[in-house]
Structure 1
Amino acid sequence: MITDIEVNKPVPIVPEKQLELFNHTTDVMLTIKALEAGKLVLITEFYSNGLLLLKALKIHLNKKMTCRSFKEQREYRSEYRKLTNLILIAIVDHKLIVKKAPFIGWLEKFYPYNNNFLLTFPQIQGLNSAWQWYQNGISIPVLRNKVHPYYGTYFPTRFEHLELFDNWLKRYQGPKKSAIDIGFGSGVLSFQMIKHGFQKICGTDTNPNAVVGLTDFMKDTKLSRKIELDFGDLFGKFRKQTELIVFNPPWLPESYDLDSMDKAIYYDKNLFSVFFAEAKQRLLPEGKLVLLFSNLAQIINITKEHPIEKELSEGGRFQLEKCLKKKVKTASEKTKRDQYWRSSEEVQLWVLTNK
Structure 2
Amino acid sequence: MSTDIQINKPAPIASIKEVALFDSTSDIEFTIKTLEADKPVLITEFYSDGLLLLKELKMHLKRKLSNKTFKEQREYRAEYHKLSNLIVIEIVAHRLTVKKAPAIGWLEKLYPETPDFFLSFSQIQGLNSAWQWYKNGISIPVLRNKVHPYYGTYFPTRFDHLELFEQWLKRYTGPKKTAIDVGVGSGILAFQMVKHGFQKVFGTDTNPNAIVGLTEFMGDTKLSRKIELDLGHLFGNFDKQTELIVFNPPWLPESRSLDNIDQAIYYNKNLFPDFFAAAKKRLLPDGKLVLIFSNLAQITKVTKEHPIEKELAEGGRFQLEKCYKKTVKAASDKTKRDAHWRASEEVELWVLTNN
TM-score using structure 2 length: 0.94
For 2:272 and 2:210, how far apart are their aligned partners in 1? 21
The one-letter amino acid paired with 2:207 is: N
1:320-331 equivalence runs, <5 A: 320-331=320-331
- Structure 2 residue matching 1:311: 3-state secondary structure: helix
- Given the alignment of the two structures, is residue 106 of structure 1 paired with residue 106 of structure 2, yes or no? yes
**Deviation digits for residues 28-76 of structure 1 (CA, Å, limit 9, x no counterpart):** 233334334433221120011111122223333444444686x766555
- Given the alignment of the two structures, is residue 352 of structure 1 paired with residue 352 of structure 2, yes or no? yes
Change (3 A) 1:15 1:330: farther
For 1:254 and 1:35, how far apart are their aligned partners in 2? 32
Change (3 A) 1:340 1:77: farther
For 2:38 and 2:346, how far apart are their aligned partners in 1? 41
Change (3 A) 1:232 1:55: same
**Deviation digits for residues 75-98 of structure 1 (CA, Å, limit 9, x no counterpart):** 554443333222211111111000
The answer on whether the counterparts of 2:94 and 2:115 sit within 8 Å (CA) in structure 1 is yes
- Structure 2 residue matching 1:102: 3-state secondary structure: coil
For 1:29 and 1:314, how far apart are their aligned partners in 2? 59
Change (3 A) 1:18 1:259: farther
Aligned residue number for residue 39 of structure 2: 39
State percent identity of aligned pairs: 74
| 280-289 or 325-334, larger mean C-alpha shift | 325-334
Q: CA deviation at 1:259?
A: 2.6
Q: CA deviation at 1:110?
A: 1.8
Q: CA deviation at 1:263?
A: 0.7
Change (3 A) 1:315 1:274: same
Aligned residue number for residue 202 of structure 2: 202
1:172-187 equivalence runs, <5 A: 172-187=172-187
**Deviation digits for residues 257-304 of structure 1 (CA, Å, limit 9, x no counterpart):** 223121111111101100000000001111111111111112222222
For 1:279 and 1:271, how far apart are their aligned partners in 2? 12
Aligned residue number for residue 255 of structure 1: 255
Aligned residue number for residue 131 of structure 1: 131
Q: CA deviation at 1:167?
A: 0.8
Aligned residue number for residue 145 of structure 1: 145
For 1:74 and 1:338, how far apart are their aligned partners in 2? 17
Aligned residue number for residue 162 of structure 1: 162
For 1:136 and 1:340, how far apart are their aligned partners in 2? 32
For 2:296 and 2:348, how far apart are their aligned partners in 1? 11
Aligned residue number for residue 97 of structure 1: 97
- Given the alignment of the two structures, is residue 227 of structure 1 paired with residue 227 of structure 2, yes or no? yes
Q: Structure 2, unaligned stretches of length 5 or more?
A: none
For 1:194 and 1:55, how far apart are their aligned partners in 2? 45
For 1:32 and 1:4, how far apart are their aligned partners in 2? 42
For 2:283 and 2:54, how far apart are their aligned partners in 1? 50
- The RMSD of aligned alpha carbons is 1.8
The one-letter amino acid paired with 2:133 is: W
- Structure 2 residue matching 1:245: 3-state secondary structure: strand
For 1:52 and 1:353, how far apart are their aligned partners in 2? 56
- Given the alignment of the two structures, is residue 334 of structure 1 paired with residue 334 of structure 2, yes or no? yes
The answer on whether the counterparts of 1:296 and 1:346 sit within 8 Å (CA) in structure 2 is yes
The answer on whether the counterparts of 2:15 and 2:117 sit within 8 Å (CA) in structure 1 is no
Q: CA deviation at 1:212?
A: 0.7
| Matched length | 354
The answer on whether the counterparts of 1:10 and 1:123 sit within 8 Å (CA) in structure 2 is yes
The one-letter amino acid paired with 1:340 is: H
Aligned residue number for residue 50 of structure 1: 50
Change (3 A) 1:68 1:277: same
Aligned residue number for residue 122 of structure 1: 122
The answer on whether the counterparts of 1:73 and 1:337 sit within 8 Å (CA) in structure 2 is no
The answer on whether the counterparts of 2:108 and 2:115 sit within 8 Å (CA) in structure 1 is no
**Deviation digits for residues 135-170 of structure 1 (CA, Å, limit 9, x no counterpart):** 111101110000011111111111111111111111
The one-letter amino acid paired with 1:219 is: G
Q: CA deviation at 1:342?
A: 1.7
Change (3 A) 1:68 1:11: same
For 1:328 and 1:129, how far apart are their aligned partners in 2? 26
Q: Structure 1, unaligned stretches of length 5 or more?
A: none
| 110-119 or 95-104, larger mean C-alpha shift | 110-119
The one-letter amino acid paired with 1:221 is: T
The one-letter amino acid paired with 1:324 is: Y
For 1:39 and 1:12, how far apart are their aligned partners in 2? 18
Aligned residue number for residue 86 of structure 1: 86
The one-letter amino acid paired with 2:222 is: K
| 224-233 or 35-44, larger mean C-alpha shift | 35-44
Change (3 A) 1:189 1:76: farther
**Deviation digits for residues 159-217 of structure 1 (CA, Å, limit 9, x no counterpart):** 11111111111111111111000010110000011111111100001111111110011
For 1:144 and 1:72, how far apart are their aligned partners in 2? 45
